[in-house]
Structure 1
Amino acid sequence: MHAGNILTCRDEQGHGLSLVTIDNGYCLPESFEDCTFEWLCWPQCRQPFSEEMVEYIRSLDAEEDIAILRFHGWDMSGKCERILCVTTMLLKKGVDTGLAAFHMRSILCRDGARRSPE
């Protein structure tokens, strides 16, 4: 993700500006080898999720999402499915234990780690 993948949004009353990170290239990756998360330096990523966000995260269902994508004609690779399931599980378990986004990212990606050629 890079700085060009940030949306600005206002709340329903047209006030309160917030930043929303997006990245279609990393939406359903097959690996995390080349992922960068520019938001890691933002202080917000170390703060706990709001209760509203926690409830939303708890409602996520990776298997249902995969079924919906298949229904609409997209047969994603097994690698993408596995990463979607694992990251959804990490996100749900992370919020249940009080982890912030920064800490969950640290579990997924090791800084400076390089995979050896296969």
Structure 2
Amino acid sequence: MSDFSFAMLPGIETEEMLWLQELTKGYSSENKQRFLAVYQSRRKDPQTILICSLIGFLGPAGIQRFLLNQIAMGIIYLITLGFCFVGTIIDAVNYRKMTWEFNKKEALASAALLGI
């Protein structure tokens, strides 16, 4: 399995791809495939988070927080209309950072789950 397998993930950026390559550099080809399968099922696409953030202007605010497993913040966003839209604007601007932090945690959890 080549290192280009990570490039096929939707919305992946260079920083994330390099981090994943560094994380899996000692893995065998079979372990990389197993890791990629688990990580791909847990990973969130940054564009999905952006779209859900923008939905907060027209409908229920905080969907992006629920997708990122931040349930308490999601409920607060729902009740306060995304902190009167200020939180929704901030999330729409910072969607890549929020997604990258979530995906990084999921990559580490995926590696731990597989015991690699």
TM value normalised by structure 1: 0.26
Which structure dedicates a bigger proportion of its chain to strand?
Answer: 1
Which structure shows the higher helix fraction?
2
TM superposition score normalised by structure 2: 0.26
